[in-house]
Chain A
Amino acid sequence: MNVPRQRRARDVVATIGPKEELSPVVATANTRGSISLSRSLSGSFCHKFGVSGLGMAFLRAPPRSGFIVHYSIFSILSQAFKGQTGWTPVWREPEPKPAYDAIVVGGGGHGLATAYYLAKNHGLTNVAVVEKGWIGSGNVGRNTTIIRSNYREHGNIPFYEKSLQLWEGLEQDINYNAMVSQRGVLNLFHSDAQRDAAARRGNAMRLNGVDAELLDRDGVRAIVPNLDFDNARFPISGGLLQRRGGTVRHDAVAWGYARAADQRGVDILQNCEVTGIRIDNGRVTGVETARGFIGAKKVGLACAGNSSRVAAMAGLRLPIESHVLQAFVTEGIKPLVPNVVTFGAGHFYISQSDKGGLVFGGSLDGYNSYAQRGNLPAVEEVMEEAVAVMPSAGRLRVLRSWGGIMDMSMDGSPIIDKTPVAGLYLNCGWCYGGFKATPASGFCFAHTMANDEPHELNAPYRLDRFATGNLLDEAGTGAQPNLH
């Protein structure tokens, strides 16, 4: 029985093996991003210090008063000579105007990206982002920084691939170093059945023009030699690798989008919690906030774990539960994990930050929570998975752990759509995959808000798909959010 199964698996390796050329779509995507260009100059030096902006260092006249510094190697060098005393705040702290054309509720990655693309792609600059705390204080600063587009379902692959392509050009686009690092995402598998599933997913990706490589055991060993390949229970038999996946400096995404949106005239209003949504004759007219009423023709909600609370202000009940997900980082060590590795026999993912700490996480705690912290049983499970796949990790000390509140949808896929209230738009249900989606989410949500209809990429992410039966259940676990 074993022999034909292995032969079949090997055939699949040949189909999507590492030696095969990438499909043209991927090649285009790769060459379009000037990141790969700057990387070919070699080393992260260019990347970090903005050599890619060479020859473009100048003071650009903004749409408002004042000057905006274009970040480049020259701005870095000139600051070095000034003792770093000339840096100015990268976004304004304006007072709220009485009214805006559009308000985005939620100053996280998705909200700020939405505001940026509203201004850049749709010419809507009379826009505010309202945030109850400080921008980036939620999940955009609490995730494990992974980007990838290795999905299987039709509705998901094009959306997440768009997101990855936007990541590839993001730093040039917003003139901000987000440390986008395409170090690869490697999903391990431990059995023939898992190999078949990985091959199927890889083929689905390739058919959509996304890069995927099926590695055998030796292929994995060549990349990450320190895994427990001969684990008695879960020996590693190979992995599905997406080389264009990787990690991004998560806080910089919030700050970079905030700066870029601010430069285009968007008002970022912090400490401005929304306490009510005003609706007249079925149409939204503005939001009540901690800083008073602010009128708006359109309001977009990008509130992640607080989506149900905010949507309830407009009388909506959502197919969402809020759950807590924990993440961890160890003390800094020399390079050990070259890319993102995921354990296939549980739910565990690990990468190494540029500071040297191993950043990792696992599954949800499994119960509803708004607490932004979890419990010890989930910690224990994640640690067990860590040492099961990488025994050497047991020698490390964990520096910090934290929790974020996930907006878990009923099918594991997000919602970007209009709502029954005219002028009110909804962006939620990111489960624990929201970070990688940030650029495409902002891109699609801005399109949906500006045109009052979804972009084709977020057309599958309808709010009413639960009632109509058009679910997008990547994991196939049904309406039980703690299983997604």
Chain B
Amino acid sequence: MRILCPYCGQRSNAEFSYLGDAAPVRPRDVRRATGESATGNAALREFSDYVYLRTNPPGLLREWWQHTGGCRAWLVVERNVTTHQIGAVVGARDGAGGTREMSR
């Protein structure tokens, strides 16, 4: 499996570290996820789902990889987990597609 790093070119997957599915989005306000209130519990559930639950589908998956053995950039790699075929690879900023809000 070779990944086409947009900055370094095609490299062995041994150079890359894997984080996983790029779909889960960190809940916006973690501070709500405290206390015993109904909204607090719902927010806690939302946060626990974000940390622990995965869709884990076969076929195409958009994933976080980091080119740790190269430019160290975070990438979003489109990969078929059933065939290991690599599709489009983009930098994390582009790959996130603006759906991932920065936590300040």
A residues within 8 Å of B by Cβ? 308-309, 312, 317-322, 366-371, 375-377, 380, 410, 466-467, 479-482
Q: Contacts A368-B61, A467-B45: A317 and B53 contacting too (C-beta < 8 A)?
A: yes
Which chain A residues lie closer than 8 Å to B30 at the CB level? Answer: none
The reply to whether B18 and A370 contact each other, CB–CB distance below 8 Å, is: no
Query: Are the C-beta atoms of A308 and B56 separated by less than 8 Å?
Result: yes
Number of interface residues of B (CB under 8 A): 26
Given known A-B contacts A367-B18, A479-B51, A375 and B1 have beta carbons under 8 A apart: yes
B13 within 8 A of A: yes
Q: How far is the CA of A246 from the CA of B19 in the complex (A)?
A: 34
Are B53's CB and A318's CB within 8 A?
yes
CB contact between A377 and one of B13, B19, B51 (< 8 Å): that residue:
B13
**Contact A308/B54 with A366-B18, A367-B63 known, Cβ cut-off 8 Å:** yes
CA gap between A312 and B1 in the complex, in Å: 28
Q: What is the minimal beta-carbon distance from B18 to any residue of chain A, in angstroms?
A: 5
Given that A369-B81, A371-B83, A371-B84 are contacting pairs, would A320 and B1 also be in contact in the complex, using a CB cutoff of 8 Å? no
Partner of B14, one of A308, A377, A410: A377
Q: Do residues A368 and B20 form an inter-chain contact, with CB atoms below 8 A?
A: yes
Task: Show 5 A/B contacts (Cβ-Cβ < 8 Å), sorted by A.
Answer: A367-B63, A368-B20, A377-B12, A466-B51, A481-B20
With contact pairs A375-B13, A466-B48 given, residues A370 and B53 touching in the complex (Cβ less than 8 Å): no
Which residues of B are found within 8 Å of A466, using beta-carbon distances?
48, 51-53
**Additional A-B contacts beyond A309-B57, A377-B12 (18; CB < 8 A):** A308-B54, A308-B56, A317-B55, A318-B53, A319-B54, A321-B20, A321-B21, A321-B54, A322-B56, A367-B18, A368-B56, A369-B82, A371-B83, A375-B84, A376-B12, A410-B51, A466-B52, A479-B51
Q: Is B58 an interface residue (CB 8 A)?
A: yes
Given known pairs A369-B84, A370-B82, A377-B12, the reply for A321 and B56 (CB within 8 Å) is yes
Where chain A touches its partner, the secondary structure class is mixed
**Residues on A with beta carbons closer than 8 Å to the beta carbon of B84:** 369, 371, 375
**A482-B18 contact given A320-B56, A368-B56, A369-B81, CB 8 Å threshold:** yes
Please give the residue numbers on chain B whose beta carbons come within 8 Å of chain A beta carbons, in ascending order: 1, 12-14, 18-21, 45, 48-49, 51-58, 61, 63, 79, 81-84
Interchain pairs with CB closer than 8 A, number: 72
Contacts of A317 in B (CB 8 A): 49, 53-55
Q: Return chain A residues, CB-CB under 8 Å to B57.
A: 308-309
Which residues of chain A come closer than 8 Å to B83, judged between CB atoms?
A: 371
Chain B interface main SS type: mixed
The minimal Cβ–Cβ distance linking A181 to chain B, given in whole angstroms, is 35
Residues of A within 8 A of B45 (CB): 467
Q: Are B13 and A370 in contact (CB under 8 A)?
A: no
CB of A484, distance to nearest CB on chain B (Å): 13
Query: B53: which A residues are within 8 A, CB to CB?
Result: 317-319, 466
Chain B, Cβ-Cβ closest to A368: B81
B5 CB, nearest partner CB in chain A, Å: 15
A410–B49 Cα gap in the complex (Å)? Answer: 11
Bound CA–CA A42/B65 (angstroms) = 55
A322 and B84 alpha carbons, distance in the complex (Å): 13
A318 and B56 in contact, given A371-B83, A482-B18 (Cβ under 8 angstroms)? yes
What separation, in Å, do the CA atoms of A479 and B21 have in the docked complex?
Answer: 13
Task: Determine the distance from Cα of A380 to Cα of B15 in the docked complex, in whole angstroms.
Answer: 13
Q: Which residues of A contact B21 (CB under 8 A)?
A: 321, 368
| Chain A residues positioned under 8 Å from B58 (CB to CB) | 309, 370
Bound Cα distance A410, B24 (Å): 15
A319 CA to B49 CA, complexed, in Å: 8
Q: Is the CB of B63 within 8 A of A368?
A: yes
B11 to chain A, nearest CB (A): 11
A367 to B17, CA, bound (A): 9
Nearest to B14 among chain A residues (CB) is A377
Closest Cβ–Cβ distance, residue A148 to chain B (whole Å)? 28
B70 CB, min distance to chain A CBs, angstroms = 14
Please report the C-alpha to C-alpha distance between residue A319 and residue B48 in the assembled complex, in whole angstroms.
Answer: 10
Give every chain A residue within 8 A of B79 (Cβ-Cβ). 367
Contact of A479 among B14, B18, B52 (CB under 8 A): B52
Give the contacting residue for B52; candidates A322, A369, A467, A482; CB below 8 A.
A467
